[in-house]
Structure formats: C-alpha cells, structure tokens
Amino acid sequence: MRHILRQRELQADHWRHLGEQIAPGDAVIVPFAELRQARERWWAWDGRLGVRLAPIDRVEDLLDVLPRLDLVAVEFPNPGDGRGYSQGRLVRERYEFRGELRALGAGVRQDLVFLLARCGFDAIELAPGEDPQSAQRALARYPVAYQPGSAAVPVQRQRFYAA
C-alpha cells in the first residue's frame, strides 16, 4: 500500500490511480484527458472520484466537473516545472475546492514540500525514493513566511496577507 503525507501525517493511501487494480466502489484518480473523453462514465462512477492534472491542463476547463470531485491531483513531472504551483493555488483559492489537493510526480521531492503546502496542497505523494520522515521535517522547516499561504503549514509570522 502506498503512503502519502496528508495534513503532515504519514497515512495509507486509499486512492487508486487509473491503470492500477481497481474494484467497483474504489476511490479513483483519473487523468484529466480521460475524464473529459469519458465524462458520463466517470461522473457515474460508483465511488469517490479524483482528477489528475498534467502541467498543460487548464484549471479553468475543470470547473464544470469540480463539484463531482473529491480530489484534485497535480502532476510535477520534474522539480523544475513550476506550473503545478499555479494550478494548485487556483484550484484552492479561486475555485474554492475543499477536497484533497494532492501533489504527485517525479518532481515531488522533500525539498519542495514547504512550497507545495503553502500553495494549498494538503496531500503529498512523494516521488519514489524520497524519505517521508525527512519530508515531514521539511514541512516544518520555516517558522516564518513572507507571502500569504495555506494554513496547512502554519507559520509564526508572516509579512504579507491577502485581502
């Protein structure tokens, strides 16, 4: 069973990615392209539904399915591709998504989890080989932040606040 960091705790992951073994009723994460192609089928899925956004996917195109979703996963294919940070903030802030916002992909390394959490990601599926305990510590690395950010990683002091 895969483990993920959720709300800074290491937990068993009960979600399945499309392509893994899936039984009816499972919580499934489906790539956005697949979800658009087979919208009716997935809308009627007998279980919790999540979407997986690639860096090129536009968050705006997600709006009409967002109410059906319990999870939005954002892919970070490598540490240098920062598009997912914008996708995550938009989903969380502008579109007020309250379900699980998950970062996943080969780019999700322990050194980036603080940024991810500040952008509103409450679930971190670490890249293979990353040590979860180190990532947990990294989430608490900074006691302060300059920018507004998610309360998922509370900081003692912050300089700028949103409206």
- The answer to whether residue 161 forms part of the interface with other proteins (CB under 8 A) is yes
Amino acid at 118: R
Q: Could you tell me which stretch among 6-14, 23-31, 33-41, 153-161 binds other proteins (CB under 8 A)?
A: 153-161
Neighbours of 126 (CB within 10 A): 22
Q: Do the beta carbons of residue 69 and residue 51 sit within 8 Å?
A: yes
- The answer to whether residue 26 forms part of the interface with other proteins (CB under 8 A) is no
- The answer to whether residue 98 forms part of the interface with other proteins (CB under 8 A) is no
- The answer to whether residue 12 forms part of the interface with other proteins (CB under 8 A) is no
Residue 3 or 141: which CB sits closer to other proteins? 141
Q: Do the beta carbons of residue 150 and residue 120 sit within 8 Å?
A: yes
Q: Do the beta carbons of residue 134 and residue 6 sit within 8 Å?
A: no
Neighbours of 145 (CB within 10 A): 17
- Provide the minimum distance between the beta carbon of 159 and other proteins in the complex, in angstroms, as a whole number: 6
Using CB under 8 A, pick the residue from 26, 83, 99, 132 that binds other proteins.
83
